[in-house]
Structure formats: structure tokens, C-alpha cells
């Protein structure tokens, strides 16, 4: 079922948690709400669920599921499934009773027979691979198992939309990876519309069909993960979607200078800030005609496909991060304390003042 | 491994002191009550207990307790629900107000009620013209008993409900449960031990309350005398055996209450061990 939000805003007292937001989510889509804490993503999700109400003034917003206006429909009747960050399982009930809860509280005329409830609960438990734990209490399960129970519980009532609030936030990295893959598969199998909240960019990019990037109660950009990463609309999105190195300085006659570092750029005179991803930094033993950026290696992490190197220098306010191929790492015999020269492969520049998307990428 | 203060001599000294003080201040008086009550034999004890006035005092005390408990229960649950599940202006003040009965001396509470509801009181005057008498009658005793005991249930529930949060209730409502279903199937099971504990404390206090009740009851034998008041009267009349017979009944109720509380704690700890 598709979800449509029109002019949804929210104030808590005098603070504005959400600026008026419009959002369209297609049927069967898996959409991630991504943003730092305090960006309003959880508030938005809770408003979609009906656990929180949107502002009624100055103009009331609208929430539409399919062709059903649910703005004033109570959460109990919205036909949603909600998965909480800390599972919120009923602690005094067995796994079976937890999953069956939504079915047993239905009005008598809609409620399935007890045999049917039993069959449906076991089908769900099988789907989340927990049928052997049906009689356990939640406290006797691991975090990952509890989250699977809470997902089965939400799906038991066949919701129109599934909403997940930081579903994997409280789990360790390995379990998170497994559950993510598993949710993706489940989503493809059952094809429900889902919205999930996360502050983890990797999770959002890996899992979502489209990602909604939020900050300060505003939507910054809505795009597919690929587009989002390759063409961020503004500086916030660029910075939030990965590690960023900053180079601030003053441009004069086509040279950006910052302390004893300088770089040739084709920019008009004035103060500039250039941004670089870690993989856009190349390291050599010598400066070049275009750039003179002396740095010192302060930390090395050789784990993974590439070596991550931390760089510091007098002219840098914050250390840089560079990723280097293992071959280059060995060729340059990198070690802590070593002095090298950085060269930007390419850099990005955003003009914060202009309302238009204003990314400028320069390939060196 | 030896910890600080774990030397055998220190340990023996501390344990010895704790046992001695407990025996002196807690156990000995309790034994003395029963010893005094039975000092002139079972027959005299029985004669004192089955005395009309004593029986009436027992009855009145139990009725007051039985009426107080459900009222405090509903009040406590509603109040705890209110302050832990909703945020509204004045919530903090309300949470402080709950403690007033603990902070105020029961005698003062009794006097305030007398001042308000007595024949010359603000509300009492109006009540009097309508021929309703609250003070020096059982309704007055009930009112002050409720005043003195009303914080117990709420005080037990509030920290627990605060710690548990409202996530489970939110989960239940997203699954389509109605308010009453949520209360019955989610909230109540989660707070039942704290609730029972609150009831036990309420009961103990309701049965034993002396100060506030003595001000508003008038202590009319066979009419408005509760067990603690009756006990005091007997003692003033130099009927030591009678006084101690009543005291032994009160002590018995206290012991039963303590046993119930210990039983609940034992069950709760066993439940936790299972998890």
C-alpha cells in the first residue's frame, strides 16, 4: 500500500521537530529515513504510525495510505506493523503468545479460530526460524532473536505498511548484517511497503530502494542509494554519507593557500572550503607542481580491502583520513610518524549560501 | 580473597551487634506481647478477646481496612498511570503532593479533617444542616485512614512503571488492542507484584493507624472504637491482660502481613532466577 504525506509538521512545545514535509512512498517500496539524532526521523515514523500526532495548525497535514485518508484514524485502526528499537516484547508472555497477541485482540467477528491462529503463528515463527523457541520468554532469547519475534508479531496482523524504528540499532555488527540481509529477502518475498529509521548510512544505503536524508526536521534529499552517494544535493548529504576531509584556505591567483600547504585550483579569489572523500586522497613521497600538502601519518588500520591511514599536519584543523591500496601501502613502506605528501584525485565544493543545489566537482 | 572489614573479629562483632539489637528491639517486645496476653491462661485471654467491645473493634478495624484497600488501589493505579504515561503541566507538583500524607503527622491530618468536616467546620456545617455526620462516626475513620494510606500503592508503582516505560503498551496498541485490553493484558501483569506489595503495606497501615483515627473517631466503645484505640483504652483502664490480648491480635495481623510480603518476595526472586 502506498503512503502519501502532505504538509506534515510537528512542534514539541516551542521547538519545531519537523518542518512541513511532503513525501510519497510507492507500494512495495522499502524506504529508509536516514539522519543524525534529533533530525526528526523517528518523529516522522511515529506520526506515520499514529503514535504521535502531527500539528493541526496552521494548516493540518494529511496522511494517506493507498486511497484511505488515515490522518484522523487511531493507531489501533491504521493497520500498521511497528517494530521498536528495543523490541518492546511483552515480557510476561511466551514467544508464541507475543506473536499471537494481535490476532487474539481482534474483534470477535474478525478473529480467526484458535486453530487458525495457531497455524498462522507457527507459520510466522517458522519464517523467522524460531519455532523451536515458541514457549520461551523474551528474556531467555538473544537480541537478534527478540527482534525477529517482534517482526513476526508485527506481521501477524497482516499490516498494510511495516514501520521499523532503528530495528537493528541495539544489535552487534555481525547479527545486524545477518538481519539486514534477511529483512531484505523477506521484503522481496512478501512485498509489503516498509519504512525504517536508521542513523547508520551504510544500513540505509544497503537496504533501501530509496533513502530520505533528514536533518533538523527537514528532508535534505530523497533518492536511490546510488544517486545519493554519487550526486549529493548539498553539503549536509555529502558529509553525512561518508567520511569527509576538509581543506580550508584562501584562493589568490589560482592558488589555495593554508599555512605552509598550497594547491592549484581554478577558482576565483576568496575563502574556500574543499571536501574530499578518503579514497580521493593519493599519497606520495614528493610534492608535485600542482600541490604541496605535507602530512604526517598518525594511525594505520590495515583491516579490509584497503588500508585506512590517518593524517595530521599543522595546517589541518581536523585529521584527514585516506584509504590506500595494500600494494601502495607496501611500496611506500608506510609507518606511523612518516612524512608524506597528499594529492587530491578530485575534490568537491558546495556553496552553502545558494538555495540551489550547488555541488561542483573538480577532477584533478 | 579477603575484603576490607572482613577480618574474623570485625565480622563477629558486627554480626553479634546486629543480632543483639534485633533481639532487644524487635523480637523481645513481640515475645512480651504474647507472653503478657497469655500470662493468666488461655481462658482469660479468650474472655478478653470475645468481649463484645473487643469483637466490635476487630470488626470495625477489618471493615475499615477492607474499604480502604480497594479505594487506595484504584486511586494509586490511576495516579501512577497518570504521572508515568502522560506529560502535562503540574505533573511534578502532583508527584510531590502524593507524599503529603507521609510528610504530615497523622494527628495533624486528623485535626485538619475535624476542622473541615466537624460540626463547626467549613464543610461540616453544611453537612450538619443536611443531617450528615462524618466525624465521630465510621465514615470519618475511613476518610482519615484513606488519607494516611493513599500514597503506598502509587509509591510502589511509579518507579516501576517509569522504569518499564510505555513501549509495550505502544506495541499493543499498534497491534489493535483497545485501552482496556492493554491494561488487562499488558500493564496489569507487569505491575502485579508491586501492586500486591502496595496492598500489603496499605493493609498494615490501615489496620494499625492510631493517631489520625484517635482524633476523628471519638473512641465510643462499641461504636467507633478501632482495635488500636480499644487497646489504648484497655491499657488506660489498667486492664493489662485485655490490652495485650488486643495487642497480640494486632501483632498477629502484622506477622501474617509480613509472611505474605516475604512469600511474595520469595516468589519474585524465584521468577527472576528462572529467567
The CATH number assigned to the domain holding A303 equals 2.40.50.100
Last residue of a domain, one of A205, A234, A263: A234
Q: Is residue B60 part of a domain?
A: yes
Number of Cβ atoms within 10 Å of the Cβ of A195: 25
Query: Does the residue A58 lie in any domain?
Result: yes
Same-domain status, A190 and A269: no
- pLDDT tens digits, B221-246: 888 999 999 999 999 999 888 899 99
C-alpha grid cell, residue B1: 580473597
By Cβ distance, the residue of B171, B178, B189 closest to A82 is B171
CA separation (Å) from A100 to A86, A133, B250?
Answer: 19, 14, 48
Is A256 found in the same domain as A192?
Answer: no
- Tell whether the model's pLDDT for residue B131 goes beyond 60: yes
B67, part of any domain: yes
A157 chain-B contacts, CB cut-off 8 A? 175-176
Residue in A315, A330, A321 with CA at minimum distance from that of residue A279: A321
Contacts of B173 in chain A (CB under 8 A): 51, 75-76
User: Does residue B43 fall inside a structural domain?
Assistant: no
Q: Domain boundary residue among A211, A234, A257?
A: A234
Is A91 in a helix, a strand, or coil?
A: coil
d(CA A150, CA A168): 12
Local structure of A161: helix, strand or coil: strand
Mean pLDDT of A40-45: 94
Which domain CATH number covers B186? 1.10.3720.10
CB burial of B112-128 (b: ≥16 within 10 Å; e: otherwise) equals bbbeebbeebeebeebb
Would you say residue A355 has pLDDT above 60?
A: no
Q: Do A150 and A10 sit in the same domain of this protein?
A: yes
B181 contact A CB<8A: yes
- Output the pLDDT for position A356: 44
Q: What's the confidence (pLDDT) of residue A357?
A: 45
Contact A91 B176 (CB under 8 A): no
Average pLDDT, chain B: 90
Cell numbers representing residue B116 in the block = 473541615
Q: Which domain holds residue B127?
A: 52-269
C-alpha cell at B7: 577480618
The verdict on residue A240 lying in a domain is no
Interface test with chain A among B171, B178, B181, B191, by most A beta carbons within 10 Å:
B171
In a domain, B136, yes or no: yes
Domain-embedded: residue A116: yes
- Return the number of CB contacts < 8 Å for A and B: 62
ipTM for the assembly: 0.81
When divided into structural domains, chain B yields a total of 1
* pLDDT digit string, tens, across residues A225-280: 999 988 888 889 998 988 899 998 899 888 999 888 889 988 888 888 899 999 99
| Percent of chain A whose predicted confidence (pLDDT) is above 70 | 96
Do the Cβ atoms of A84 and B167 come within 8 Å?
A: yes
Distance CA B50, CA B63 (A): 18
Summarised one tens digit per residue, pLDDT across range B54-87 is 999 999 999 999 999 999 999 999 999 999 988 8
Q: Within this chain, do residues A157 and A39 fall inside the same structural domain, yes or no?
A: yes
User: Percentage of residues in chain B with pLDDT exceeding 90?
Assistant: 57
Q: Is residue A281 part of a domain?
A: yes
A221 and A252 in a single domain? The answer is no
Which of A189, A206, A234 terminates a domain? The answer is A234
Residue A355 lies in a domain: yes
* DSSP at A111: P
pLDDT classification of B272: cutoffs 50, 70, 90: low
Query: A75 to chain B: which residues are within 8 Å by CB?
Result: 173-174
Using CA atoms, how far apart are residues A42 and A10, in angstroms rounded to an integer? 12
Write out the residue range of the structural domain in which residue A181 sits: 3-234
Same domain? For A170 and A256 the reply is no
* Residue A354 pLDDT: 45
Q: Are residues A25 and A67 in the same domain?
A: yes
Q: What is the mean pLDDT of residues A179-208?
A: 89
- Predicted confidence (pLDDT) per residue in B144-194, tens digit: 999 999 999 999 999 999 999 899 999 999 999 999 999 999 999 999 889
Query: Which residue is closest to B176 within chain A, CA to CA?
Result: A76
- Rounded to a whole number of angstroms, the CA Rg of chain A reads 25
Evaluate whether A207 touches A32 at the Cβ level (below 8 Å).
yes
Which residues of chain B does A92 touch, with a Cβ-Cβ cutoff of 8 Å? 189-190
DSSP, residue by residue, A123-146: HHHHHTT-GGGTTS-GGGS-HHHH
- Per-residue pLDDT tens over the stretch A215-228: 999 999 999 999 99
Q: Is the pLDDT of residue A190 over 70?
A: yes
Interface list for chain A against chain B, based on CB atoms closer than 8 Å: 49, 51, 75-77, 80-82, 84, 86, 88-92, 101-102, 105-106, 137, 139-140, 150, 153-154, 156-157
Amino acid at each position: 500500500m502506498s503512503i502519501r504525506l502532505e504538509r506534515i509538521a510537528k512542534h514539541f512545545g516551542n521547538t519545531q521537530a519537523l518542518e512541513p514535509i511532503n513525501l510519497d512512498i510507492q507500494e512495495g517500496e522499502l524506504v529508509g529515513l536516514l539522519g543524525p539524532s534529533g533530525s526528526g526521523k523517528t518523529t516522522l515514523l511515529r506520526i506515520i504510525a499514529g503514535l504521535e500526532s502531527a500539528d493541526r495548525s496552521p494548516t493540518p497535514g494529511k496522511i494517506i495510505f493507498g486511497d484511505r485518508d488515515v490522518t484522523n484514524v487511531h493507531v489501533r485502526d491504521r493497520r500498521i506493523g511497528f517494530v521498536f528499537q528495543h523490541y518492546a516484547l511483552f515480557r510476561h508472555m511466551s514467544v508464541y503468545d507475543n506473536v499471537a497477541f494481535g490476532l487474539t485482540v481482534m474483534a470477535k467477528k474478525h478473529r480467526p479460530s484458535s486453530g487458525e491462529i495457531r497455524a498462522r503463528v507457527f507459520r510466522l515463527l517458522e519464517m523467522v526460524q524460531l519455532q523451536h523457541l515458541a514457549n520461551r520468554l523474551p528474556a531467555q532469547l538473544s537480541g537478534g532473536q527478540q527482534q525477529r519475534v517482534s517482526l513476526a508479531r508485527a506481521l501477524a496482523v497482516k499490516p498494510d505498511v511495516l514501520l521499523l524504528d532503528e530495528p537493528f540499532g541495539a544489535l552487534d555488527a555481525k547479527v545486524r548484517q545477518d538481519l539486514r540481509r534477511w529483512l531484505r529477502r523477506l521484503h522481496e518475498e512478501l512485498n509489503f511497503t516498509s519504512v525504517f529509521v536508521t542513523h547508520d548510512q551504510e544500513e540505509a544505503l544497503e537496504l533501501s530502494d530509496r533513502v530520505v536524508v533528514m536533518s533538523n526536521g527537514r528532508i535534505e534529499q530523497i533518492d536511490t542509494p546510488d544517486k545519493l552517494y554519487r550526486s549529493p544535493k548539498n553539503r549536509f548529504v555529502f558529509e553525512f554519507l561518508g567520511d569527509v576531509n576538509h581543506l580550508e584556505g584562501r584562493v589568490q591567483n589560482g592558488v589555495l593557500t593554508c599555512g605552509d600547504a598550497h594547491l592549484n585550483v581554478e577558482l576565483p579569489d576568496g575563502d574556500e572550503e574543499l571536501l574530499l572523500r578518503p579514497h580521493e586522497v593519493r599519497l606520495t613521497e614528493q610534492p608535485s607542481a600542482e600541490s604541496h600538502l605535507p602530512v604526517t601519518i598518525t594511525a594505520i588500520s590495515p583491516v579490509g580491502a584497503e588500508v585506512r591511514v590517518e593524517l595530521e599536519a599543522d595546517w589541518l584543523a581536523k585529521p584527514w583520513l585516506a584509504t590506500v591500496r595494500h600494494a601502495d601501502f607496501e611500496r611506500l613502506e608506510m609507518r606511523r610518524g612518516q612524512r608524506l605528501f597528499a594529492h587530491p584525485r578530485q575534490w568537491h565544493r558546495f556553496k552553502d549560501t545558494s538555495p540551489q543545489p550547488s555541488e561542483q566537482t573538480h577532477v584533478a | 580473597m579477603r575484603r576490607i572489614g572482613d577480618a574474623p573479629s570485625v565480622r563477629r562483632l558486627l554480626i553479634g551487634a546486629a543480632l543483639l539489637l534485633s533481639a532487644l528491639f524487635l523480637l523481645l517486645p513481640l515475645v512480651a506481647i504474647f507472653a503478657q496476653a497469655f500470662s493468666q491462661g488461655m481462658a482469660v485471654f479468650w474472655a478478653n478477646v470475645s468481649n463484645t467491645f473487643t469483637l466490635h473493634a476487630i470488626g470495625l478495624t477489618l471493615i475499615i481496612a477492607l474499604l480502604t484497600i480497594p479505594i487506595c488501589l484504584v486511586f494509586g493505579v490511576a495516579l501512577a498511570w497518570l504521572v508515568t504515561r502522560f506529560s502535562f503541566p503540574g505533573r511534578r507538583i502532583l508527584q510531590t503532593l502524593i507524599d503529603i500524607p507521609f510528610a504530615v503527622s497523622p494527628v495533624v491530618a486528623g485535626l485538619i479533617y475535624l476542622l473541615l468536616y466537624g460540626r463547626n467546620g467549613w464543610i461540616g456545617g453544611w453537612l450538619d444542616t443536611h443531617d450528615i455526620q462524618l466525624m465521630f462516626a465510621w465514615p470519618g475513620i475511613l476518610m482519615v485512614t484513606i488519607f494516611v494510606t493513599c500514597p503506598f500503592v502509587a509509591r510502589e508503582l511509579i518507579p516501576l512503571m517509569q522504569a518499564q516505560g510505555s513501549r509495550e503498551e505502544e506495541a499493543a496498541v499498534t497491534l489493535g488492542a483497545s485501552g482496556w485490553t492493554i491494561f488487562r493484558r499488558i500493564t496489569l501483569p507487569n505491575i502485579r507484584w508491586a501492586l500486591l506489595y502496595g496492598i500489603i503495606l496499605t493493609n498494615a497501615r490501615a489496620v494499625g493507624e492510631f493517631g489520625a483515627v484517635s482524633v476523628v473517631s471519638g473512641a465510643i466503645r462499641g461504636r467507633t472504637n478501632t482495635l488500636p484505640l480499644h487497646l489504648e483504652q484497655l491499657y488506660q483502664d489498667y486492664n493489662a491482660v485485655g490490652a495485650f490480648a488486643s495487642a497480640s491480635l494486632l501483632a498477629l495481623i502484622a506477622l501474617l502481613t509480613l509472611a505474605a510480603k516475604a512469600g511474595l518476595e520469595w516468589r519474585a526472586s524465584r521468577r527472576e532466577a528462572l529467567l
